[in-house]
């Protein structure tokens, strides 16, 4: 296909990530049309949403062939882990997504932890268990708090445990009741460490790693629950000085290149590295094979240039001449999350009826337009991103939008102050 013909793009997914991706790709002069399966209420304003479920691989491939789709993007991690890329590759179709085997580096925490141990990538001390009694016995003699993670990356699969009562509750769900299915058959019990949480996105073309700007993540527990449900983030970060950046490159990124070259040599996709900057240096908490909603909405807002051109360079193995830039402005974001006690969807005002500041963008989570109303259908309602000179300006802009939305039964995270962000002492507020 020549550049003048324009490309047809298919995006698989229906949440904040896919909305942010559709909005960014729409700005590329090389894009002819964007389809999203199944999409959401916000995506329908910038792309054509399809009545095809994201896990319906035969229908997705049939549509892609009929429409002569040039490139498919896959958002949901469970589809990546399940091997959706293998289905597309087997039909000779281009997809920006790693094959199932290569994706294990981020879809299996056990694989990731063993890789970190083998390549001496710093990570909190951990033990792996595949039977309940052994895990319980270990916890009885361990120092609390402990982090318990299931092998897979299912929502709710990670818990901060402060007592044996907490341990029993989480392990029983994972290993006895099997609420996470096969993902919970093995668990990782990890030492609790404190520090500033940072997420670094890497764009990987086999053994070439292209680092994106890091984002500082803000998580807050609600009512002492063990699963964080208030989420915020901002970039650029201030807790990563030159010394820490050098440590991350030397201790994490360099051995990670060797690990991928050896164990995931055909990996072409994003890899998110969740890091905690401790007093002893940076430690890796997790690898993730997908962007999360926060990272997508913030980094895509900060990216300057044609995002599609960069992805095509990775897909086609032509990353040596990549040239792109990032805005130097402060970009902050939050995610509005439904109260776990709320039954049913939440009605969201149509953004067209709101007076949204120019420095603010909205990204919809799972949602549908029903009888003239926009109703949420998932736990993550909206992502809100603000761009400004400091945290206070961004917080004020976000509050203007929140006041107009006037949503009930949602949780969200206030941004840290500029001083907290500058010193790295980000507090739960």
φ/ψ of residue 53, rounded to 5: -70, 145
- Cα(234)–Cα(384) distance, integer angstroms: 12
- Cα(364)–Cα(18) distance, integer angstroms: 9
φ/ψ of residue 206, rounded to 5: 55, -110
Determine the pLDDT at residue 135.
Answer: 97
Query: DSSP H helical segments within 123-252, as ranges?
Result: 132-140, 164-171, 242-247
- Cα(111)–Cα(242) distance, integer angstroms: 30
All domains of the chain in start order, with CATH: 3-97 (3.40.50.20), 125-191 (3.30.1490.20), 196-423 (3.30.470.20)
Determine the pLDDT at residue 229.
Answer: 56
Determine the pLDDT at residue 139.
Answer: 97
Question: CA neighbours within 13 Å on the CB side: how many for 313?
Answer: 17
Determine the pLDDT at residue 20.
Answer: 97
- Cα(112)–Cα(119) distance, integer angstroms: 11
Tokens at 209, concatenated: 């790693």
CB atoms closer than 10 angstroms to residue 32: 12
Residues in the chain: 429
Give the single-character DSSP code of 415: P
Determine the pLDDT at residue 418.
Answer: 85
- Cα(210)–Cα(252) distance, integer angstroms: 14
Determine the pLDDT at residue 326.
Answer: 94
Is residue 40 a contact partner of residue 351, using CB atoms and an 8 Å limit?
Answer: no
The residues that bridge with 95 in the sheet, in sequence order, are: 72
- Cα(198)–Cα(234) distance, integer angstroms: 10
- Cα(364)–Cα(362) distance, integer angstroms: 7
Question: CA neighbours within 13 Å on the CB side: how many for 78?
Answer: 11
Determine the pLDDT at residue 419.
Answer: 81
Determine the pLDDT at residue 349.
Answer: 96
Determine the pLDDT at residue 428.
Answer: 40
- Cα(298)–Cα(289) distance, integer angstroms: 18
Closest CA to 276 of 244, 323, 309, 229: 244
Q: What is the pTM of this model?
A: 0.92
Q: How far is CA 169 from the centre of its chain?
A: 27
Determine the pLDDT at residue 226.
Answer: 47
Instruction: Going residue by residue through the chain, which has 429 residues, state the pLDDT in tens, using 9 for 90 and above.
Output: 444 579 999 999 999 999 999 999 999 999 999 999 999 999 999 999 999 999 999 999 999 999 999 999 999 999 999 999 999 999 999 999 999 999 999 899 999 999 999 999 999 999 999 999 999 999 999 999 999 999 987 777 889 999 999 999 999 999 999 999 999 999 999 999 998 889 999 998 877 888 899 999 887 765 555 444 568 899 998 778 889 999 999 999 999 988 988 888 889 999 999 999 999 999 999 999 888 889 999 999 999 999 999 999 999 988 887 888 999 999 999 999 998 888 999 999 999 999 999 999 999 999 999 988 999 999 999 999 999 999 999 999 999 999 999 999 998 888 888 887 776 665 443
Q: Is 331 exposed, middle or buried (0-12, 13-18, 19+ CB in 10 A)?
A: buried
């Amino acid at each position: 296909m020549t550049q003048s013909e324009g490309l047809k793009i298919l995006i698989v997914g229906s949440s904040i990530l896919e909305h942010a991706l559709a909005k960014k790709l729409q700005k590329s002069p090389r894009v002819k049309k964007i389809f999203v399966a199944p999409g959401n209420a916000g995506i329908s304003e910038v792309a054509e949403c399809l009545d095809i479920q994201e896990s319906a691989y035969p229908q997705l491939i049939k549509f892609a062939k009929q429409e002569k789709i040039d490139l498919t993007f896959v958002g949901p991690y469970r589809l990546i882990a399940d091997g959706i890329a293998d289905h597309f590759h087997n039909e000779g179709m281009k997809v920006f997504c790693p094959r199932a085997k290569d994706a294990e580096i981020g879809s299996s925490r056990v694989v990731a932890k063993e890789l970190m141990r083998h390549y001496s990538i710093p990570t909190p001390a951990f033990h792996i268990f595949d039977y309940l009694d052994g895990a319980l016995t270990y916890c009885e003699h361990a120092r609390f708090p402990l982090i318990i993670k299931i092998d897979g990356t299912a929502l709710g699969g990670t818990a901060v445990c402060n007592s044996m009562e907490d341990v029993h509750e989480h392990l029983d769900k994972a290993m006895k009741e099997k609420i996470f299915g096969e993902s919970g058959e093995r668990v990782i019990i990890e030492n609790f460490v404190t520090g500033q949480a940072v997420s670094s996105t890497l764009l990987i073309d086999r053994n070439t790693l292209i680092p994106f700007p890091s984002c500082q993540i803000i998580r807050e527990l609600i009512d002492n629950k063990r699963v964080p449900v208030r989420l915020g983030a901002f970039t650029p970060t201030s807790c990563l000085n030159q010394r820490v950046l050098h440590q991350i490159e030397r201790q994490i990124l360099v051995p990670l290149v060797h690990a991928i070259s050896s164990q995931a040599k055909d990996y072409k996709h994003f890899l998110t590295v969740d890091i905690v900057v401790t007093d002893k240096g940076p430690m890796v908490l997790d690898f993730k094979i997908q962007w999360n909603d926060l990272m997508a909405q913030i980094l895509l807002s900060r990216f300057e240039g044609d995002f599609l051109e960069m992805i095509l360079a990775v897909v086609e193995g032509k990353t040596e001449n990549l040239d792109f830039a990032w805005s130097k402005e402060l970009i902050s974001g939050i995610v509005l999350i439904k109260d776990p006690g709320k039954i049913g969807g939440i009605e969201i005002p149509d953004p067209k009826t709101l007076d949204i500041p120019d420095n603010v963008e909205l990204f919809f989570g799972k949602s549908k337009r029903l009888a003239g109303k926009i109703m949420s259908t998932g736990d993550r309602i909206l992502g809100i991103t603000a761009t400004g000179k400091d945290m206070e300006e961004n917080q004020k802009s976000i509050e203007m939008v929140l006041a107009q939305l006037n949503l009930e039964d949602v949780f969200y995270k206030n941004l840290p102050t500029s001083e907290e962000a500058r010193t790295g002492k980000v507090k739960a507020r």
